[in-house]
Structure 1
């Protein structure tokens, strides 16, 4: 998810300057389909990583290999489905978004190469989560940094010098992801990993697939909810403001991505530590990791809030010099980020349950902000006060979502902080809260 967001961010910056606000609107319209790709890869990667980290923590290396081999089988299958979908589903799906002919054509030229490269994205995102799960955070970071830097280098070449516009941005992204695929393959084949791809274990094991799917479902639901949210918001903006406001929202959304990346990085670093120590019954270490993560994301959330309130025009100018877009974006940014200081709690809470394999509360918290709160609020407020209704729906949804997160965290406090339990209760932690 982080890598895809980086690629989309870089693409948007170059497209904004080389193509204009219509290009940004096109990428924004196509982004929900990219989110679906992230949802599938995220579910497989985060679900599998959670299962693998707990297997490794319990000393069950052979079972961890079995899980990993089944994950690789699913990566290939998803890649094939992505190619088929590129030729059969893209045009009908994009037609439902309701944009004008020019913007829609650019959206298609952007998303087609990306869906054709589904196997690269899925493999990269899945294995990155697995590499973190086995404790090699350094190499996991390298596999994110190198393709991101490569994408920054290739974007101006394809978008500007080769004059390929939004399609050039997509091609640069696919090439960048293909590069990391070969890096990671070498890592696993060379024996540097504690995990092994065993062809004999790649045959579908439904028990493993079910366990990975159940644990990964919250990540999938969260991303798909984000896709549905974007489709609804884009439709409301087109209806009550026009394609111009889709472009404005596209810029604001990229700023939101920048702010979320460090918090998602903290979450992804926390999850394997929590999962491993939970499996190893090292509850003190697990508790320390949770407390530290909550403190860091809370501090960062306040910094994000301050930046959005004090320098919104500077943030907008990262992506565009169009004064009309900047003026509209400053208003949108200040409203959307009005309660940004609570975002960190939302990020950590859902991912925390997922790390422990508690799929039900993880799913609820993953869906709450976007599906239970934001989408209904947008549908209620936009017809009444137009574009401003879309912006106001965001802080309202954030307030409701953080209240729900705090309720769950308080209810299950002794699960996350076992030092508050009696010694005999600690032995039953893994059986409780299923």
Structure 2
């Protein structure tokens, strides 16, 4: 596979690596949709319970991305530099760090569960659903999320199809378990959480087993590896942009949800939960393309093949823009095609369509921002990636959420997001234009 990363034609290689990633991301998006459909059948308040606890899950994923993206970026570059032993050491250290992080995170959330839910402004009607759901999710993360962390390294070594099969089978398992636990076993919201935890743990078992036993991988996971050079600093530096993104997204989600409830109501919160699921579907497609590009960019940047890096970047930017424009057109002209999948309630449908059209008005530019920030991570330029992440996920949006809704109510909440997306994406376009010129001048 390393030979392919260095010599195979970029369009074919990007397609080869992106298709499995897109497939797995789409299946995950379909799962998210199906999961929310099942949860909504319990009660619209149950759907609000899932939505209101999203900041906790976002914060949890911050540590998964910090270590997962940070380590996989370094692994790609080290393989490009022809240093497979160092890549193997990085994989081993990533496994240790994610296990420790998830255990500490879960203990903190369980101990401070009630104060945290109070901070999130969970209403008395939604409270039982939110508490039951998040308790099981954070306990299960100790076993479920390490696999998602190291799954990034599968793609980093060019095993995108293997990664896809794991994610797809996990999502299908979740879809099967959801109605079984929720309705057949009458577990309600607890059943939805348990189904997710079991499917996540399945990923962890498979990923760890493959890295430990597969003989055709360029690196393997050795659980008793002797202590050598520590890559902790490099892992953290390269994973920091994704970490900042998630941390800010946590605070933004809290402030945003509180603003939606304050200037709207719980039904608006249910509508935004649906909008976020639709956005997640779009985002996962774009991220799937980026995941296909990541090992190509990282490996060839390490090998100083800047011509291949530049070609991959241009192709990734173009693909994401086409997808963004297509989804944007559907949202603006035929929103019920998407929102109608989740609910048949006329009032909820109306609120969802209105919220989605305004909230995602800058969608054509968001894909360019996402590609740009992830590219700078892939080539170990974390400062630029961090700036882009901070701009879009809080630096602009948080102040606006405290100002604009005071004048325009719930509409001001959505407009705040539009302005933030526009400014952050404009900066991303500037950064990536300079990067393309830099790559061209170093050919």
Normalising by the smaller structure, the TM-score range is over 0.9
**TM-score, with structure 1 as normaliser:** 0.92
* Cα distance, 1:311 vs structure 2: 1.4
Residue in 2 aligned with 1:216?
Answer: 239
Map of 1:400 onto structure 2 = 423
**CA deviation string 1:389-408 (max 9, x = no partner):** 11122222221111111121
Matched, 1:120 2:143: yes
Shift of 1:174: 0.4
1:337-375 CA distance string (max 9 Å, x none): 222111110110100100011111110001111212222
Q: 2:155 aligns with which of 132, 142, 162?
A: 132
- 1:51 and 1:68 mapped to 2: Cα distance? 9
CA distance in structure 2 between the partners assigned to 1:141 and 1:167 by the alignment: 28
Deviation at 1:130, TM superposition (A): 0.3
Matched, 1:96 2:119: yes
Structure 1 position 131, deviation (Å): 0.5
CA distance in 1, matches of 2:189, 2:297: 40
Alignment match of 1:15 (pick from 39, 55, 62)? 39
The residue that corresponds to 2:219 in the other structure is 195
Offset at residue 204 of structure 1 (A): 8.3
> Relative to structure 1, is the Cα distance of residues 4 and 299 closer, same or farther in structure 2, using a 3 angstrom cutoff?
closer
Q: CA deviation at 1:413?
A: 2.6
Q: Which residue of 2 aligns with 1:297?
A: 320
Q: Deviations over 1:114-157 (max 9, x none)?
A: 11112333312211110000111110111211101111111111
| Contact 2:144–2:203 (8 Å) recurs in 1 | no
Structure 2 CA distance, aligned partners of 1:79 and 1:380? 36
Is 1:341 the equivalent of 2:364?
A: yes
Structure 1: stretches of 5+ with no match in the other structure: 427-434
Q: Over the residues paired in the alignment, what is the CA RMSD in angstroms?
A: 1.8
Q: Which residue of 1 aligns with 2:380?
A: 357
Deviation of the 1:223 alpha carbon: 1.2
Offset of residue 226 of structure 1 = 1.3
2:129 is matched with which residue: 106, 112, 120? 106
Higher alpha-carbon deviation: 120-129 or 233-242: 120-129
SS at match of 1:412: helix
Which residue of the partner structure matches residue 79 of structure 2?
56
Superposed displacement of residue 79, structure 1: 2.9
TM-score, length-scaled by structure 2: 0.90
Tell me which residue corresponds to 1:432. Answer: none
Q: C-alpha separation between the residues in 2 aligned to 1:313 and 1:414?
A: 42
Post-superposition shift, 1:194? 2.0
Equivalent-residue separation in structure 1 for 2:224 and 2:183 (angstroms): 47
Supply the distance in 1 between the matched residues of 2:108 and 2:384 (Cα, whole angstroms).
32
1:265 alignment counterpart: 288
Q: CA deviation at 1:76?
A: 1.9
* Matches of 1:176 and 1:87, distance apart in 2: 21
- Of the three residues 104, 116, 136, the one matched with 1:81 is 104
Q: Secondary structure at the match of 1:14?
A: helix
1:16-74 CA-to-partner distances (Å, cap 9, x unmatched) read: 1x222211111001111111111110111111000011111111011111111111111
Is contact 2:70-2:238 (8 Å) kept? yes
For residues 260 and 202 of structure 1, do their structure 2 counterparts lie closer, same or farther at Cα, with a shift above 3 Å needed? farther
> What do residues 231-278 of structure 1 show as CA deviations (whole Å, max 9, x unaligned)?
001111121222221111111111111111100111111111100010
How many residues get paired? 418
Compare 298-307 and 220-229 and name the one that shifted more. 220-229
Gap runs ≥5 in structure 2:
1-23
Q: 1:86, CA displacement in angstroms?
A: 4.1
CA distance in 1 between partners of 2:200 and 2:246 (Å): 20
Looking at structure 2, the residues matched to 76 and 64 of structure 1 have their Cα atoms a distance apart, in angstroms, of 19
Q: Give the drift of 1:284.
A: 1.7
